Chains A and B, each alone.
Chain A
Amino acid sequence: MNGAAGAVATGNWRLALRFARRDLRSGLAGFRIFLIALTLGVAAIAGVGSLGDAFLRGLAEHGRALLGGDVRIQRFYQPATPAERAFLTQFGQVSQVSTARSMATNASDPGKRTLIELKAVDAAYPMVGLPVLSPATPLAGAIACDARTCGAVAEEALLERLGLKIGEPVRVGQADFIIRAVLVSEPDRVAGGFELGPRLMISDTALQRSGLVKPGSLITWSYRVAFTGKQTLEAFRADLLDKYPESAWQITDRNNALPNVSEFINQATMFLSLVGLTALVVAAIGAGQAVEAFLKGKRPTIAILKALGAESQLIFRIYLTEIGAVSAIGLAAGGVAGALFPFAVSYFFGDRIPVPAHYAIYPVPLIFAALFGLLSVAGFALPPLARACDIPPAGLFRDLVAPSRVQARRWVRVTTAVAFLAIGGLSTLESPNRLFNVAFLGGAVAVLVALRLTAGGLRLALARLNIRRPQTVRLAISSLTRPGSPVTGTMVALGLGLTLLAAVVLTQGSVEAEVQDQLPSHAPSFFFIDIQPDQIAPFTKLMSGFPDTEDFTARPMLRGRVVKLNGIPVAEAHIAADSKWAVNGDRAVTYATTPPKDAKVVQGPNWWPADYHGPTLVSFDRALARGMGLKIGDTITVNIIGRDIEMKIFNLRDINFRSGGMNFVLMASPGVVDQAPHTYLATVRTAPNREEAMFSAVSRAFPNVTIVSVRDSLTQLGEMLEALANGIEIASLVTILAGALVLAGAIANGHRARLYDAVVMKVLGATRGKLARIYAAEYGLLGTLSGLAALFIGTITSWAIAYFVLDVPFIFSGAAVALTIAGGAVGTIVLGLAGGFAALSQKPAAKLRNP
């Protein structure tokens, strides 16, 4: 055999596999943290992606039911004309549904009133799906009318608010309806949105009897068409626009029944995926550390194999095989957990989820998650693996205090860079908002770099501290500054999670403060909607008679849709993304002969003459004008009740949309606009203790007027924001969990040295209590410093979000400080002591006998 050796390349995979199998006989203990970290990271991405797909598929599958037909057209004010009905009937069965916000009163106890979401349906409703009533009874019977009265079905919440029972009458407008059943669910409704009141469903006949249908009343008239032939959605759209080009119909079809909800799900999925990706990256840092710790434990074996003649390639392949095998387990476990996540959400929160979902296994997010996991392993585990393989055997045996510095080979550096770029590229490619995605990733990288620099700086600063007493602190500091200390890894990984948490908590605090702070200082107490022109004088009189009221304002209000800018249809005009909301759907329009006292004209002449009756002029919002590329003298065409009205921009105003008051984007000159049927919108501010009395007085005197309490609305908005923030907080907790794993990895990394140190300290007379105090000081200091760094960077991040994205004043909150620092310190101490427990309980004699 002598001399024949060496002819065979030792890098062959079969040999590597054989050695890896032998090596794994000692079990997966060394890979525990690696496995947990990878599983967690992959599960986070796979879970979020799967849940998003479940919702989107659910929406797509229920599109027809949610829409109530194949296509829906709707507009304000005007029901379809007989000609329009005839047109719709050509395509199939037609159902009319009208909705409005209104007030409902307990007919037997008129003091009990509440705002409701009223829905009036015809006999054809629902064409798709069925409502669920309790007791179970056909809807048509429950809402049927006889000569004297009509039936109604209401949500349980309405019955509770008004103290009503089935069989008792509810008053809407000027009519009383008998509640015949509780409305449990509607096929065409996504619950939980921003709704101001519970649902009351009546027949279209009942709506007419209520007296609410008046010229200019804010009623949405919606028509659903269930195709009976082979008509296509495209043909329907084309025919409708061809026949009624100026009819102001908004068209929605079954393929995108809830565009806003789909958009929200897409955005939420993207954001949570990015948080998941952050968790994965943090977890991957932990996985990389775990690989390093594992390979550190394998140094003797690597050294022996090398001494016996194994080349680096064989060593690389042995441990790559092991890491690959464990990664496969982690990817599979993470994939399974992610795939099951939607089912778990359905099981635990199913009844609270407002959107229809199709719970199934979705391969695409699982493949993406696995790919992200694989790339992360390549990015973080490859360098320590390559380094371990390249260390010369003498260095491995010698175990220097200053470890052999081996520069990773070029291909490893290139592969690592490619892996990181691929992670960023893949995540951006699949994102619905690539710019945001890139900004988020850029921010995350900046935070990582900042944390790394901070960690390096702190380590240097601690090393220069010359603290001799108390001994606990001195030993803790020396432990943090010794070679191989966990400072950098822990601060980077735990810090990233804590930064995310701090940023979320601070941003949430700023938004909440903005919502709450507006209420007492600027916002009105009530909005009064649908005041008829003949009611405005008595209404004003009622208000002026109320004590402690201020800022009563009443304005005519019409709903109109911007259809052209300078004669160019909005679909073809170039409009900035942050201004598109103004052309999507209807906007409130008012007219005024004199400038309102809160109008802040910033460009152009102050106002048109009070007696102006020429071509329609408009006072427009300056920010929107900029977004739409409009200037004074340009034209905006607004469709009001089926008629296109061209308005010339007279001046531009700055509107504070956060004032909570009336904010008309379009204020037109009278002459044309005031000829259209319209109602008045009024706002008033009164002392909180007078609100109830005002509510009662208005609802008693003007039963047709809808009263919206700003306080209630803001409370509801606050609750929605809180729910959203809770979701993000949970997601950021996953990142913190990943950070904790990194800490656990760092502790495992230094376990052997710590064990040895503990034994020596015990031989020298240190008690377990003393050692525990040293560990607590060390990890407490590390956690507190991580928390402080995270708080600092999180504050800057949150300020940037508040200032640049949300446009709200940044508020620094003490809760965020406490949560971030205490969370960092306590979590680190607990994990550190848990990790050091083995060292504390190590009997010196055993270790000294058998090193």
Chain B
Amino acid sequence: MTANIANRDDLRKAKEAAILLSDVRLTLTSAAGPVNILNGVSLNVAKGEAVALLGPSGSGKSSLLMVAAGLEAATSGSVAVAGQPLSGLSEDALARFRRAHAGIIFQAFHLIPSMTALENVAVPLELTGEAEAFAHAKTALEAVGLKHRLSHYPGQLSGGEQQRVALARAIVHNPEILFADEPTGNLDGPTGVQVMDLLFALKTRGNATLFLVTHEEALAQRCDRILRMKDGLIVADSPRLAVPA
């Protein structure tokens, strides 16, 4: 069970922060027995901040992103994102939270294969009942340089194009927080750079908070702050220039 935010001071902090985690733990059960993924993570990310999360495989980076994005419920501890406590929210309430406040980019793109690029990007707006969903989606695709690929299906796009569509989908509803889980992991170097340039440009334009999980030191250096994880714990938290080489 996650703890609730108990006092007025905590509430104020939660409202001021983009992401506020306190002693977050995550344990998953599998056939082999329980596995501890997060072992008491506390974190405060300010609004508009760009945070990079570095760490070896299995350190808990993606799980921490999942918890912060409301995709996974923490086993214990408190989670507040965009001023909203997520602890104890139902699955549907979490869905409503995500469509209101979060844009998510995955390493594997996760586009819906039966929808065109335009339809994929329009989905978050359609879910909110936005009447001009397709017009905004078109603008977002133009912004990522895919004006000529509106009616293409994911299977007809290259990896870089697919990730740009995912990027357009993540920002189309101007979310307060952008969550990106190794967004260049499946792309070659130059394409990865292009996508990240776009991501930072859009983040800056929308004044969004960025929570980026990555393996790449160079990419992390473009963020305001770098966190290091190991064995389900944040072991280092420093501004980018102070990060040891």
Write the residues of chain A forming the contact surface with B, with a CB cutoff of 8 angstroms: 1-8, 10, 12, 15, 18, 22-26, 300-301, 303-314, 390, 392-394, 397-398, 400-402, 483
Q: Which of B123-167 contact A (CB under 8 A)?
A: 123-130, 136
Complex alpha-carbon distance, A305 and B111, angstroms: 10
> At the interface, yes or no: B216 with Cβ under 8 Å from chain A?
no
**In the complex, are the beta carbons of A400 and B110 less than 8 A apart?**
no
Q: Which of B82-137 contact A (CB under 8 A)?
A: 91-92, 95-101, 104, 110-115, 119, 123-130, 136
Residues of A within 8 A of B71 (CB): 307, 392-394, 397
> At the interface, yes or no: B72 with Cβ under 8 Å from chain A?
yes
- Closest A residue by C-beta to B172: A1
Complex alpha-carbon distance, A303 and B71, angstroms: 9
**In the complex, are the beta carbons of B30 and A5 less than 8 A apart?**
no
**In the complex, are the beta carbons of B110 and A392 less than 8 A apart?**
no
> At the interface, yes or no: B182 with Cβ under 8 Å from chain A?
no
Known: A23-B114, A394-B71. A4 touches B128 (CB 8 A): yes
**Interface flags, B58-100, vs A, CB<8A=1, else 0:** 0000000010010111000000000000000001100111111
Known: A25-B114, A305-B112. A7 touches B72 (CB 8 A): no
- Residue from A1, A23, A312, A400 within 8 A of B125 (CB atoms): A1
5 residue pairs bridging A and B, Cβ less than 8 Å apart: A1-B125, A2-B174, A6-B128, A22-B114, A311-B95
- Closest A residue by C-beta to B132: A1
**In the complex, are the beta carbons of B92 and A402 less than 8 A apart?**
no
Known: A22-B115, A311-B96. A5 touches B128 (CB 8 A): yes
Min CB gap A169→B, angstroms = 83
**In the complex, are the beta carbons of A400 and B30 less than 8 A apart?**
yes
Complex alpha-carbon distance, A300 and B112, angstroms: 8
**In the complex, are the beta carbons of A6 and B92 less than 8 A apart?**
no
Complex alpha-carbon distance, A305 and B112, angstroms: 8
Complex alpha-carbon distance, A304 and B174, angstroms: 18
Residues of B within 8 A of A311 (CB): 91-92, 95-96
> At the interface, yes or no: B49 with Cβ under 8 Å from chain A?
no
- Residue from A3, A7, A22, A25 within 8 A of B129 (CB atoms): A7
- Closest B residue by C-beta to A2: B174
Known: A308-B123, A390-B91. A26 touches B30 (CB 8 A): no
For the complex of A and B, 4 pairs with smallest distance between CB atoms: A309-B99, A8-B129, A5-B128, A394-B72
Min CB gap B100→A, angstroms = 4
Band of interface residues on B: 35 or more
Min CB gap B139→A, angstroms = 12
Complex alpha-carbon distance, A483 and B169, angstroms: 36
**In the complex, are the beta carbons of B113 and A26 less than 8 A apart?**
yes
Write the residues of chain B forming the contact surface with A, with a CB cutoff of 8 angstroms: 28-31, 66, 69, 71-73, 91-92, 95-101, 104, 110-115, 119, 123-130, 136, 169, 173-176
Min CB gap B157→A, angstroms = 14
Known: A4-B128, A10-B127, A22-B115. A309 touches B96 (CB 8 A): yes
- Closest B residue by C-beta to A392: B91
Complex alpha-carbon distance, A190 and B190, angstroms: 87
**In the complex, are the beta carbons of A300 and B110 less than 8 A apart?**
yes
Known: A301-B114, A305-B112, A306-B95. A18 touches B72 (CB 8 A): no
Known: A1-B173, A2-B174. A7 touches B95 (CB 8 A): no
- Residue from B100, B111, B174 within 8 A of A6 (CB atoms): B100
**In the complex, are the beta carbons of A1 and B128 less than 8 A apart?**
yes
**In the complex, are the beta carbons of A392 and B73 less than 8 A apart?**
yes
- Closest B residue by C-beta to A12: B129
Min CB gap A583→B, angstroms = 68
Min CB gap B126→A, angstroms = 6
Complex alpha-carbon distance, A336 and B11, angstroms: 64
Complex alpha-carbon distance, A665 and B16, angstroms: 99
Min CB gap A286→B, angstroms = 25
Chain A CB within 10 Å — which of B69, B95, B113 has the most? B95
- Residue from A7, A18, A26, A306 within 8 A of B114 (CB atoms): A26
Chain B CB within 10 Å — which of A305, A310, A390, A402 has the most? A310
Complex alpha-carbon distance, A681 and B98, angstroms: 93
Known: A311-B92, A313-B92, A390-B91. A3 touches B100 (CB 8 A): yes
Residues of B within 8 A of A304 (CB): 110-112
Chain B CB within 10 Å — which of A22, A23, A26 has the most? A22
- Closest A residue by C-beta to B120: A304
Complex alpha-carbon distance, A123 and B30, angstroms: 90
Residues of A within 8 A of B92 (CB): 311-313
Residues of A within 8 A of B112 (CB): 22, 301, 304-305
Known: A22-B114, A308-B123, A308-B169. A1 touches B129 (CB 8 A): no
Complex alpha-carbon distance, A314 and B31, angstroms: 31
Complex alpha-carbon distance, A301 and B110, angstroms: 8
Min CB gap B232→A, angstroms = 16
**In the complex, are the beta carbons of A1 and B104 less than 8 A apart?**
no
Residues of B within 8 A of A312 (CB): 91-92, 95
Residues of A within 8 A of B96 (CB): 5-6, 309, 311
Residues of A within 8 A of B124 (CB): 5, 308-309
Known: A6-B100, A307-B104. A483 touches B31 (CB 8 A): yes
Min CB gap A646→B, angstroms = 81
- Residue from B28, B99, B115, B123 within 8 A of A5 (CB atoms): B99
**In the complex, are the beta carbons of B30 and A305 less than 8 A apart?**
no
Min CB gap B37→A, angstroms = 11
**In the complex, are the beta carbons of B114 and A392 less than 8 A apart?**
no
Known: A26-B113, A303-B110. A2 touches B91 (CB 8 A): no
**In the complex, are the beta carbons of A402 and B95 less than 8 A apart?**
no
Chain A CB within 10 Å — which of B92, B104, B113 has the most? B92
Complex alpha-carbon distance, A288 and B129, angstroms: 33
**In the complex, are the beta carbons of A402 and B115 less than 8 A apart?**
no
Residues of A within 8 A of B169 (CB): 308
- Closest A residue by C-beta to B175: A2
Complex alpha-carbon distance, A7 and B129, angstroms: 8
**In the complex, are the beta carbons of B95 and A309 less than 8 A apart?**
yes
Complex alpha-carbon distance, A26 and B98, angstroms: 28
Known: A5-B173, A7-B128, A311-B92. A22 touches B110 (CB 8 A): no
Known: A309-B96, A312-B92. A402 touches B30 (CB 8 A): yes
- Residue from A1, A12, A308, A398 within 8 A of B174 (CB atoms): A1
Residues of B within 8 A of A313 (CB): 92
Residues of B within 8 A of A8 (CB): 127-129
Complex alpha-carbon distance, A314 and B127, angstroms: 9
Min CB gap A687→B, angstroms = 73
20 extra A-B contacts, CB within 8 A, seeds A5-B99, A310-B99:
A2-B173, A2-B175, A6-B97, A6-B100, A8-B129, A10-B99, A10-B127, A22-B112, A303-B110, A305-B112, A308-B127, A308-B169, A309-B95, A309-B124, A309-B128, A310-B95, A312-B91, A390-B91, A392-B71, A483-B31
Residues of A within 8 A of B119 (CB): 22
Complex alpha-carbon distance, A314 and B100, angstroms: 16
**In the complex, are the beta carbons of B128 and A15 less than 8 A apart?**
no
Residues of A within 8 A of B123 (CB): 305, 308
- Closest A residue by C-beta to B92: A311
Min CB gap A443→B, angstroms = 37
Chain B CB within 10 Å — which of A3, A314, A400 has the most? A3
Residues of A within 8 A of B98 (CB): 307-309
Known: A3-B100, A304-B112. A18 touches B174 (CB 8 A): no
Residues of B within 8 A of A398 (CB): 28
- Closest B residue by C-beta to A390: B91
- Closest A residue by C-beta to B208: A2
Complex alpha-carbon distance, A400 and B31, angstroms: 9
Residues of A within 8 A of B99 (CB): 5-6, 10, 308-310
Residues of A within 8 A of B91 (CB): 306, 311-312, 390, 392
Residues of A within 8 A of B66 (CB): 394
Residues of A within 8 A of B95 (CB): 10, 306, 309-312
Chain A CB within 10 Å — which of B69, B72, B112, B126 has the most? B112
Min CB gap B209→A, angstroms = 12
Min CB gap B153→A, angstroms = 9
